[in-house]
Chain A
Amino acid sequence: MQLLSQLKIGQNATITAIEADEYLFHRLSALGFRVGKPLSIIRRANFNGPLHVRLGTTDVILRDSEATRIRINAEI
Chain B
Amino acid sequence: MKRIALLGMPNTGKSTLFNRISGASARVGNWPGITVDLMSAKILIGGHIAELIDLPGIYDLHGFSEDEQVVRRFLSNNAVDLVIVLLNSSQIDRQLSLVLQIKKLNIPSVLALNMADEAKQSGITIDTESLAKAMHLPVLSISAKYGDGLPKALQAATQIINQNQTATDPKVISQLLQEDHQIEHEMEDLIQRHVQIPTTFTNNTTDKIDKILLHKWFGLPIFFVAMFILFQFIFTVGKPLQDGLAWALSLFRSGLLEPIFASSPAWFSGLMLDGVYNGVATVAAFVPIIVLFFLVMSMVEDSGYLSRAAFLMDSLMAKMGLDGRGFVMMLMGFGCNVPALMGTRIMRSRPMRLLTMLVIPLSLCSARLQVFIFIITALFTAKHAPLVLFTLYVMSFLTMFLTAILFQGQYKNTEPFILELPPYRFPTLRQIVLRGWHEVKHFLVRASKFIVIGVVMVWALTNFPSNVPAASAGTYAGQIGALFAPILDPLGINNQLAIALIFGFVAKEIVVGALAVIYGMQGDALMVHMATQIDWVQAMSFMLFTLIYTPCLSTIATLKSEAKSSAFMWLSIAWSLGLAWVVSFVFYQGARWLGY
Docked complex Cα distance between A56 and B93 (Å): 9
A-chain residues with CB within 8 Å of residue B94 when the two chains form the complex: 30-32, 56, 58
Docked complex Cα distance between A37 and B422 (Å): 19
Q: Are B314 and A50 in contact (CB under 8 A)?
A: yes
Q: Are A48 and B315 in contact (CB under 8 A)?
A: yes
Q: Are A49 and B311 in contact (CB under 8 A)?
A: yes
B-chain residues with CB within 8 Å of residue A22 when the two chains form the complex: 64
Of A26, A46, A54, A65, which one neighbours B315 at CB under 8 angstroms?
A46
Residue of B with least CB distance to A44: B216
Of B93, B199, B311, which one neighbours A50 at CB under 8 angstroms?
B311
Q: Of B21-29, B41-49, B55-63, B375-383, which stretch is located at the interface?
A: B55-63
Q: Are B122 and A63 in contact (CB under 8 A)?
A: no
B214: interface (CB < 8 Å)? yes
Instruction: Report how many residues on chain A are interfacial, defined by Cβ distance under 8 Å.
Output: 31
Q: Are A27 and B197 in contact (CB under 8 A)?
A: no
Q: Are A61 and B418 in contact (CB under 8 A)?
A: yes
Q: Are B184 and A26 in contact (CB under 8 A)?
A: no
Instruction: Report how many residues on chain B are interfacial, defined by Cβ distance under 8 Å.
Output: 40
Given known contacts A30-B94, A43-B214, A60 and B316 CB-to-CB distance under 8 angstroms: no
Q: Are B421 and A27 in contact (CB under 8 A)?
A: no
Minimum distance in angstroms from A24 CB to a CB of chain B: 5
Q: Are A26 and B64 in contact (CB under 8 A)?
A: yes
State the total of A-B contacts with C-beta under 8 angstroms.
110
Q: Are A62 and B214 in contact (CB under 8 A)?
A: no
Of B91, B217, B311, B316, which one neighbours A58 at CB under 8 angstroms?
B91
Residue of B with least CB distance to A51: B311
Minimum distance in angstroms from B199 CB to a CB of chain A: 8
A7-38 Cβ-contact flags toward B at 8 Å (1 or 0): 00000000000000011101110111010001
A-chain residues with CB within 8 Å of residue B217 when the two chains form the complex: 46
Q: Are A49 and B417 in contact (CB under 8 A)?
A: no
Q: Are B93 and A57 in contact (CB under 8 A)?
A: yes
Minimum distance in angstroms from A15 CB to a CB of chain B: 13
Residue of B with least CB distance to A24: B416
A-chain residues with CB within 8 Å of residue B421 when the two chains form the complex: 52, 59-61
A-chain residues with CB within 8 Å of residue B199 when the two chains form the complex: 38
A-chain residues with CB within 8 Å of residue B418 when the two chains form the complex: 24, 27-28, 31, 60-63, 66
Minimum distance in angstroms from A25 CB to a CB of chain B: 10
Residue of A with least CB distance to B95: A30
Given known contacts A56-B93, A61-B324, A45 and B419 CB-to-CB distance under 8 angstroms: no
For window 309-361 of B, CB contacts with A under 8 Å fall at: 310-312, 314-316, 318, 323-324, 348
Docked complex Cα distance between A3 and B251 (Å): 71
A-chain residues with CB within 8 Å of residue B314 when the two chains form the complex: 45, 49-50, 61, 63
B-chain residues with CB within 8 Å of residue A50 when the two chains form the complex: 311, 314-315, 324, 417
B420: interface (CB < 8 Å)? yes
Docked complex Cα distance between A12 and B329 (Å): 33
Q: Are A60 and B97 in contact (CB under 8 A)?
A: no
Q: Are B310 and A61 in contact (CB under 8 A)?
A: yes
B-chain residues with CB within 8 Å of residue A28 when the two chains form the complex: 418
Given known contacts A30-B60, A30-B97, A31-B94, A63 and B417 CB-to-CB distance under 8 angstroms: yes
Residue of B with least CB distance to A65: B416
A-chain residues with CB within 8 Å of residue B419 when the two chains form the complex: 60-62
B-chain residues with CB within 8 Å of residue A54 when the two chains form the complex: 201
Apart from A49-B312, A63-B323, list 19 A-B contacts with CB within 8 A: A26-B63, A26-B64, A27-B416, A27-B418, A30-B97, A31-B94, A31-B420, A43-B216, A45-B312, A46-B216, A54-B201, A56-B94, A57-B122, A57-B197, A60-B418, A60-B420, A60-B421, A61-B311, A61-B417
Q: What are the 10 A-B residue pairs with the smallest beta carbon separation, nearest first?
A: A49-B315, A30-B59, A59-B421, A32-B94, A47-B315, A62-B418, A63-B417, A57-B90, A30-B60, A66-B416
Q: What are 6 pairs between A and B in contact, CB < 8 Å?
A: A43-B214, A45-B312, A49-B314, A52-B311, A62-B418, A65-B416
